[in-house]
Chains A and B, each alone.
Chain A
Amino acid sequence: MASIDVESVGKIYTGGVRAVTDIRLNIADGEFIVLVGPSGCGKSTLLRMIAGLETISEGEVKIGSRVVNNVEPADRDIAMVFQNYALYPHMTVYNNLAYGLKNRGTPKSEIDARVAEAARMLEITQYLDRKPRALSGGQRQRVAMGRAIVRKPAAFLFDEPLSNLDAKLRVSMRGEIKRLQRRLGTTSIYVTHDQLEAMTLADRLVVLNGGQIEQIGAPLEVYHAPASTFVASFIGSPAMNLVKGELHGDRLAIGPAVIGLKGFAPTSGAVTVGVRAEDLRVARADEEALPFRLEYTEELGSQRLIHGAVGDQQVTAAVSPETELASEMRIAVDARRLHFFAADTGKRLPGNVPAEAKLAPAEPVV
């Protein structure tokens, strides 16, 4: 058990390519942190620097209170779960689990006990004598987890551990990882490009883009108050609608349409307006609305996604499956549900945090 502090860490590869810039991140003991971002955003590089598999070009990484910049991975007291599991193909599951302990000179009896315990926890006891080749993807995943667990490390590092599994297995393994982490209380850093995985697993999310942190926060906080248009479009499915608009006093103009904001306008002039698909609804006849030209629909069962255009900008709304459709519709939104971002920088404009985010404060569950 330990906290992890990442202080102004940067990574420059030989040849001068900068992958990660000035990352500051303090991870509490027992916290589950998810690094999320599109491919190439530096999330894996950051994780590998914490693991010791990449050298740290700038800044410091502390595990516990010890600076580990020049410490070998094996001596950092971390365990890593790899995307392709990296099980040793010629060793039995037992030996795969025991290898790290053997290398540390752990007594045989203790190795036996720890492997048995981890195997029981992961329900792979009956496979201990098999080779990885004879296991299914999900079982291999468990073995990879087991290899991390037996070591009883200060921190788990997960590098997209579920992306090689099929969708259904991914959901169940996701739950299992969460359950195990809660039970063991081990500080964990988890890298993924899947925003759903990030939302469901994290105590706190770290959204990365272009090697820099865009936002750190609890999942709901990030969802309800994205710090930038990048976060807004990355977190949540379907992605938040982002349209260009113009504020004139208390009125918002989107293309040809104009709606009143009832005092929620944070500024004036050109802005990027964000609105979640589920916050859009079909307008009543007597309210101000945006004209919506329907293009196609997607049925999700519980809801219906309608894709279309407001003016010349693409918008997606999530409506109930019973909603009547027409090629020309009017959609409305509660002004409190609008997000405003600066038109030039894409940063969130202050003063309009929706109520939900305040209701669900960032509280790292330990």
Chain B
Amino acid sequence: MVENRPFLTFLTHLFLICGFVVVALPVYVAIVASTHDAQTLMSSAVPLLPGSHFLENYTQIFTNVSAANGLPSYPLMAANSLIMAVVITVGKIAISILSAFAIVYFRFPFRLLAFWIIFITLMLPVEVRIMPTYKIVADLGMLNSWAGLVIPLVASATATFLFRQFFMTVPEEMMEAARVDGAGPMKFFRDILLPLSRTNIAALCVILFIYGWVQYLWPMLVTTDPSYYTLMMGMKRMVAVQDGEIRWNLVMAASVLAMLPPIVIVIFMQRLFIRGLTETEK
């Protein structure tokens, strides 16, 4: 809206600032807490100004944090998280774009049924089907393996649905023109659909990477071997110490570090990401 009313401007800013504070405060507290030593955090309320132990806390993360709790090293956990997030992202996009392609562009028996089955899984939260999924993975002997970590999470109804909606906005004549131009189905997919979907793919990359990165429940269920621990599990273990005190300064430093990759991804893909969500290129 283009309006010049000072009070309205004030009001919009007030709401924006309130919203910003609510969202950003926990992050700020975590950053601040990661710069104090353990005593300060244990003895009083969390200070609101940065302390002087920044370097010390962050170097400790990479050296000796884990030994105490039987955790693998921080870099290993970070690498595990990264592998899991990347494989899930790539896998989800590859599978869902191909299934959407099949559903939209091919006429085969039970096509609609297939779509609805995919669509219905959207309505079930992961937690509801986690026990049967665990049973299957366990029976297939995939506990404590990359396959067990990734495969159950690698299909995405949401992404399939998004790609389907996008493909349906691509004019049918585009496919017909490609057919007349001598492009078979896969050539049409590669030469026309894939380039047209690139902003959608970028947007999904961001969303799915973060989804994979913050996975907690599933990795915790299927892995008992510390060498498969992801960051999210590691941090949980750092809090759940049996005796002795929780080293909040290190937990917070670990959290802050864990926030970085998604931020990097968002910044890196921001332009494509926003375009993908708002604009359909035709």
Q: Which A residues are closer than 8 A to B by beta carbons?
A: 51-53, 72-75, 78-80, 82-90, 99-100, 103-104, 133, 147
Contacts and interface: CB of A to CB of B under 8 A. Distances in A.
Given A53-B176, A82-B177, A89-B282, A103 B171 contact: no
25 contacts: A52-B179, A53-B179, A73-B176, A73-B179, A74-B180, A74-B181, A74-B182, A78-B180, A79-B180, A80-B177, A84-B171, A86-B173, A86-B174, A86-B177, A88-B174, A88-B177, A88-B178, A89-B196, A89-B281, A99-B181, A103-B182, A103-B187, A104-B182, A133-B281, A147-B177
Contacts of B180: 51, 53, 73-74, 78-80, 100
Given A51-B180, A84-B173, A147-B181, 9 more contacts: A53-B176, A53-B179, A74-B179, A80-B177, A86-B176, A99-B181, A99-B191, A100-B182, A104-B182
A90 B192 CA distance: 8
Contacts of B178: 88, 99
Contact of A72 (B173, B179, B192, B196): B179
- Most chain B CB neighbours (cut-off 10 Å) among A72, A78, A86, A87: A86
Nearest to A74: B182
A99 B187 CA distance: 11
Contacts of A85: 173
Contacts of A90: 192, 195-196, 281
A78 B281 CA distance: 29
Contacts of A104: 182
B105 to A, nearest CB: 13
B27 interface: no
Nearest to A98: B181
B83 interface: no
Contacts of B173: 82-86
A83 B176 CA distance: 12
Interface of B: 171, 173-174, 176-183, 187, 191-192, 195-196, 281-282
B128 to A, nearest CB: 38
Contacts of A147: 177, 181
A89 B171 CA distance: 11
Contacts of B191: 88, 99
Nearest to A80: B180
Contacts of A80: 176-177, 180
A38 B132 CA distance: 58
A153 to B, nearest CB: 9
Contacts of B176: 51, 53, 73, 80, 82, 86
B97 to A, nearest CB: 16
Nearest to A85: B173
A29 to B, nearest CB: 21
A87 B282 CA distance: 10
Given A82-B176, A86-B171, A103 B196 contact: no
Contacts of A78: 180
A52 B180 CA distance: 9
A79 B181 CA distance: 8
Contacts of B195: 90
Contacts of B192: 88, 90
Nearest to A100: B181
A103 B181 contact: yes
Leading 7 A-B pairs by shortest Cβ distance: A74-B182, A100-B181, A86-B173, A103-B182, A86-B177, A90-B195, A82-B173
